[in-house]
Amino acid sequence: MSEADGPFVAGVDSSTQSTKVLIVDAATGHVVARGQAPHTVSPGADGGGRESDPRQWWEALVEAVRRCGPAAHQVAAVSVGGQQHGLVTLGSDGAPVRPALLWNDVRPAPQSERLIEEFGGAKAWAERIGSVPGPAFTVAKWAWLCAHEPEAAAATAAVRLPHDYLTERLTGDGTTDRGDASGTGWWAAATEAYDEEILARVGLDPALLPRVVRPGEVAGTVRGLPELPFSRGVLVAPGTGDNAAAALGLGLRPGTPVLSLGTSGTVYAVSRRPAADASGTVAGFADARGDWLPLACTLNCTLAVDRVAALLGRDREAVEAGGTVTVLPFLDGERTPNLPGASGLLHGLRHDTSPGQILQAAYDGAVFALLKALDLVLATDPGGAPSAEDSALLLIGGGARGNAWQQTVRRLSGRAVQVPQADELVALGAAAQAAGLLTGEDPAAVARRWGTARGPVLEPVERDEAALERIAGVLGDAGALLGRG
């Protein structure tokens, strides 16, 4: 550990499975301490969906900070990045009414379809909100709660997103930011405000929602919390959703494409103008700085491929080239393409097909979906995106260090691929946002000063057109079989 220049800031990443905290020297970007603690996801009382008790997130944050040791006592500012879309319902006592519905809970698919139809169709939603609200969006989850658990909806005195909940536990004030608010389905890109007509239609009082804090504004200060080593009065930044935080962590400039390989797969690029994709594939999110972050997401990425590897009894890197087998690894339904009722599909199995070829096909199926989504993201003209020849694809997330993932992305994209050496980019982005409060800098400029995107560049290889055509053909033929219900 090198000598720190100070001051220290804390960046939090509260993801689906765990909470991570980095203590970072705001002057140098040096990570002086880190901590992590897990939390759990359950299928819910009815056996479906994806849910978590928000109190576990707080307990995990406290434990992760504790594991950072003495450096936590020197923190001058903190920011929370968190998983997007989740519906947190709080009662009048501030405690959760029920477990939070998470982003990957596809039970609200019928409510999503009904809302789209009631408000004039997908194009009308895209123009009004910036996105077409799929099952992941908070507005669909609220509609599901009202339909299936009306007593819980009636007992709700405050509605929060996951990062809002943690920020409020720190400060005592209900706040959110434009980046995370843009994933709810009730914050309008055109006006940058809550859409009261949509809220009225779904029976949600605007008074139950948090105040939207502007970029660079202080969300509050840490109140007296004996379980945390942070000093009372430490500055708290607005925080944001995980993808917007990762964009900050990369110091992302407009037009540079990003492919993130995690529990879900995401592709995005910063834009100077909002997107409005009527197909619903590209979400027209806001970013955490005042720009926009057109983004597409798949539900099945590293966990799905790892599950295929486990079923085959192989290490995740034990792939083999060749063969004509196709795997669509839609194990949890799928968001892109919009097939919430889908399951996985194996096609083209032959006597000479090897387990390693099946595993490679699972990688191919996951990456194919992401690259098709990236084409649509870049077609929204995010800041005049550089061409494939001019711009390396930034590969981030837990899968980005894996050789099989790297080589699959190279082979199917035909792009150069850059793998940033910095890890925990969501927490680093949150830390950069906290540092910006202290220095008055743009958080993305802070991250660039820290050099977070530096890393090796893998040169492009010839694109595997045959594999792309084979997967596209199977997906097209199997659309009816996979189902949308």
The residue type found at 103 is: W
Query: How far apart (Å, rounded) are the C-alpha atoms in residues 423 and 407?
Result: 19
Residue 242 is among the residues annotated as catalytic for this protein: yes
Query: How far apart (Å, rounded) are the C-alpha atoms in residues 187 and 193?
Result: 5
Instruction: Check if the beta carbon of residue 54 is closer than 8 Å to that of residue 100.
Output: yes
Query: How far apart (Å, rounded) are the C-alpha atoms in residues 360 and 378?
Result: 27
Strand partners, 308: none
Residue ranges with strand state E in 186-251: 187-188, 193-194, 211-213, 220-221, 235-236, 240-241
CB-side neighbour CA atoms (13 Å) of 57: 31
| Sign of the Cα pseudo-torsion (356, 361, 367, 371, in order) | positive
Tokens of 269: 């690029």
Query: How far apart (Å, rounded) are the C-alpha atoms in residues 252 and 220?
Result: 26
Query: How far apart (Å, rounded) are the C-alpha atoms in residues 176 and 423?
Result: 25
Strand partners, 418: 394, 457
* Preceding amide of 382 cis, omega within 30: no
Among 13, 242, 423, 464, which one carries the catalytic annotation? 242
Instruction: Check if the beta carbon of residue 137 is closer than 8 Å to that of residue 130.
Output: no
| Strand, helix or coil for residue 46 | coil
* Active site members: 242
